[in-house]
Protein backbone atom coordinates (compact mmCIF):
# COMPACT_ATOMS: atom_id res chain seq x y z
CA UNK A 1 0.00 0.00 0.00
CA UNK A 2 2.86 2.40 0.73
CA UNK A 3 4.23 1.84 -2.77
CA UNK A 4 0.80 2.66 -4.20
CA UNK A 5 0.58 5.89 -2.22
CA UNK A 6 4.04 6.94 -3.34
CA UNK A 7 3.13 6.21 -6.92
CA UNK A 8 -0.09 8.23 -6.70
CA UNK A 9 1.72 11.13 -5.08
CA UNK A 10 4.46 11.08 -7.69
CA UNK A 11 1.90 10.97 -10.49
CA UNK A 12 0.15 14.13 -9.28
CA UNK A 13 1.10 17.28 -11.19
CA UNK A 14 3.21 19.84 -9.39
CA UNK A 15 1.14 22.29 -7.43
CA UNK A 16 1.84 25.79 -8.66
CA UNK A 17 0.87 28.69 -6.47
CA UNK A 18 0.43 31.92 -8.34
CA UNK A 19 -0.72 35.31 -7.24
CA UNK A 20 -2.95 37.64 -9.14
CA UNK A 21 -1.38 39.65 -11.94
CA UNK A 22 -2.92 42.66 -10.22
CA UNK A 23 -0.40 42.68 -7.35
CA UNK A 24 2.75 43.03 -9.50
CA UNK A 25 0.94 45.61 -11.67
CA UNK A 26 0.01 47.67 -8.60
CA UNK A 27 3.57 47.37 -7.25
CA UNK A 28 4.99 48.43 -10.64
CA UNK A 29 2.80 51.54 -10.63
CA UNK A 30 3.72 52.41 -7.05
CA UNK A 31 7.43 51.95 -7.81
CA UNK A 32 7.19 54.17 -10.92
CA UNK A 33 5.24 56.72 -8.87
CA UNK A 34 7.90 56.80 -6.15
CA UNK A 35 9.52 59.96 -7.50
CA UNK A 36 11.90 62.28 -5.69
CA UNK A 37 9.57 65.16 -4.83
CA UNK A 38 12.48 67.07 -3.32
CA UNK A 39 14.43 67.41 -6.57
CA UNK A 40 11.77 67.24 -9.30
CA UNK A 41 9.36 70.07 -10.02
CA UNK A 42 5.62 69.42 -9.75
CA UNK A 43 5.48 69.70 -13.55
CA UNK A 44 8.13 66.97 -13.93
CA UNK A 45 6.35 64.78 -11.40
CA UNK A 46 3.00 65.19 -13.16
CA UNK A 47 4.58 64.41 -16.55
CA UNK A 48 6.30 61.27 -15.23
CA UNK A 49 3.07 60.08 -13.62
CA UNK A 50 1.10 60.59 -16.85
CA UNK A 51 3.50 58.16 -18.56
CA UNK A 52 2.68 55.30 -16.16
CA UNK A 53 0.41 52.72 -17.79
CA UNK A 54 -2.35 50.63 -16.23
CA UNK A 55 -1.24 47.21 -17.41
CA UNK A 56 -2.98 44.53 -15.33
CA UNK A 57 -3.82 46.88 -12.45
CA UNK A 58 -7.43 46.54 -11.26
CA UNK A 59 -9.88 49.16 -12.44
CA UNK A 60 -10.70 50.56 -8.97
CA UNK A 61 -7.00 51.01 -8.21
CA UNK A 62 -6.40 52.63 -11.61
CA UNK A 63 -9.31 55.06 -11.19
CA UNK A 64 -7.96 56.07 -7.78
CA UNK A 65 -4.46 56.44 -9.22
CA UNK A 66 -5.74 58.63 -12.05
CA UNK A 67 -7.41 60.90 -9.47
CA UNK A 68 -3.98 61.18 -7.83
CA UNK A 69 -2.37 62.03 -11.18
CA UNK A 70 -5.06 64.68 -11.77
CA UNK A 71 -4.30 66.24 -8.38
CA UNK A 72 -0.61 66.53 -9.36
CA UNK A 73 -1.56 67.97 -12.79
CA UNK A 74 -3.83 70.51 -11.10
CA UNK A 75 -1.11 71.44 -8.63
CA UNK A 76 1.44 71.95 -11.42
CA UNK A 77 -1.07 74.04 -13.42
CA UNK A 78 -1.94 76.19 -10.40
CA UNK A 79 1.76 76.86 -9.75
CA UNK A 80 2.28 77.69 -13.44
CA UNK A 81 -0.61 80.15 -13.35
CA UNK A 82 0.85 81.82 -10.27
CA UNK A 83 4.29 82.05 -11.92
CA UNK A 84 2.84 83.87 -14.96
CA UNK A 85 1.69 86.81 -12.85
CA UNK A 86 3.50 90.04 -13.40
CA UNK A 87 5.35 91.53 -10.40
CA UNK A 88 2.89 93.51 -8.30
CA UNK A 89 -0.11 92.01 -10.10
CA UNK A 90 -2.80 90.76 -7.76
CA UNK A 91 -3.28 87.03 -7.66
CA UNK A 92 -6.27 85.86 -9.69
CA UNK A 93 -9.27 85.16 -7.50
CA UNK A 94 -8.99 81.71 -5.98
CA UNK A 95 -5.43 80.99 -7.21
CA UNK A 96 -4.06 80.41 -3.71
CA UNK A 97 -7.08 78.22 -3.03
CA UNK A 98 -6.35 76.20 -6.21
CA UNK A 99 -2.77 75.49 -5.08
CA UNK A 100 -3.87 74.52 -1.57
CA UNK A 101 -6.78 72.42 -2.82
CA UNK A 102 -4.53 70.49 -5.21
CA UNK A 103 -1.97 69.83 -2.47
CA UNK A 104 -4.72 68.53 -0.19
CA UNK A 105 -6.04 66.29 -2.98
CA UNK A 106 -2.53 64.94 -3.64
CA UNK A 107 -2.43 63.60 -0.09
CA UNK A 108 -6.05 62.41 0.01
CA UNK A 109 -5.87 60.62 -3.33
CA UNK A 110 -2.62 58.89 -2.46
CA UNK A 111 -4.18 57.70 0.80
CA UNK A 112 -6.86 55.99 -1.30
CA UNK A 113 -4.27 54.54 -3.71
CA UNK A 114 -2.35 53.11 -0.75
CA UNK A 115 -5.52 51.71 0.83
CA UNK A 116 -6.47 49.87 -2.36
CA UNK A 117 -2.90 48.59 -2.80
CA UNK A 118 -2.79 47.26 0.77
CA UNK A 119 -6.15 45.50 0.36
CA UNK A 120 -4.55 43.49 -2.44
CA UNK A 121 -1.43 42.73 -0.43
CA UNK A 122 0.87 44.93 -2.49
CA UNK A 123 4.08 46.19 -0.94
CA UNK A 124 4.24 49.98 -0.68
CA UNK A 125 7.73 51.33 -1.46
CA UNK A 126 9.36 53.61 1.06
CA UNK A 127 9.39 57.24 -0.11
CA UNK A 128 12.61 58.44 -1.66
CA UNK A 129 14.67 60.71 0.53
CA UNK A 130 17.59 62.96 -0.18
CA UNK A 131 20.96 61.69 0.94
Cβ atoms of 74 and 82 closer than 8 Å: no
Query: Does residue 83 form part of some domain?
Result: yes
In a domain, 33, yes or no: yes
Establish if 2 belongs to a structural domain.
no
103-107: long-range contacts, CB 8 A cutoff, minimum separation 24: 103/75, 105/67, 105/70, 105/71, 105/74, 106/68, 106/71, 106/72, 106/75
Is 36 inside a domain boundary?
yes
What is the pLDDT confidence band of residue 58, given thresholds at 50, 70 and 90? very high
Q: Is the pLDDT of residue 97 over 70?
A: yes
Task: For residue 15, tell me if it sits in a domain.
Answer: no
Domain total in the chain: 1
Contact present, 78 and 106 (Cβ < 8 Å):
no
Residue 127 lies in a domain: no
Q: What is the pLDDT of residues 16-30, one digit of tens each?
A: 445 678 999 999 999
Average pLDDT on 96-118 reads 93
User: What does the mean pLDDT of the chain come to?
Assistant: 83
Give the pLDDT band of residue 56 (cuts 50, 70, 90).
very high
pLDDT for res 86: 60
Amino acid sequence: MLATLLFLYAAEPDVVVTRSAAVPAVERILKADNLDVETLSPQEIAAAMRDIRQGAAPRDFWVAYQAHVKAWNDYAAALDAAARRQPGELAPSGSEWAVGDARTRINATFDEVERLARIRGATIPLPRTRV
